[in-house]
Amino acid sequence: PAPLKKQMAAVLAEGFVLRRSVFQKCLELYPMAEWQVLMQKMNKLNRFKKKNNDFIRRFTAGVKMVEVDGNGRLLIPKDLTVFANISKDIVVASAVNIIEIWDK
């Protein structure tokens, strides 16, 4: 949506990370700067503990780097549309520092 693109103008050029939600059948869109902060926190987890390693693996499964095209659109990869049951129309919802993408 145009109003959302206007609010996000500063981060559009940096790109985004699109991933499957861990707990819901939706997708989560992270601005690149936000994703990098999150990954710094993840890197502090001890991967020799099974629960940490399992969490990291589940959290980062299906992660895709996406960029805005010349018309200001993001292409959602097919495997992620299948995961979120996205057929045609979507709902975009703000979730504090990320955006959730749901099938309408």
Measure the CA–CA gap between 94 and 57, rounded to whole angstroms. Answer: 25
CATH code of the domain occupying 2-103: 3.40.1550.20
pLDDT-derived band at 22, boundaries 50, 70, 90: confident
Give just the sign of the alpha carbon dihedral 26, 90, 32, 34: negative
pTM of the model: 0.83
- Domain coordinates in residue numbering, the chain: 2-103
Instruction: Give tens-digit pLDDT for 41-94.
Output: 999 999 999 999 999 998 888 899 988 887 778 889 999 999 999 998 899 888
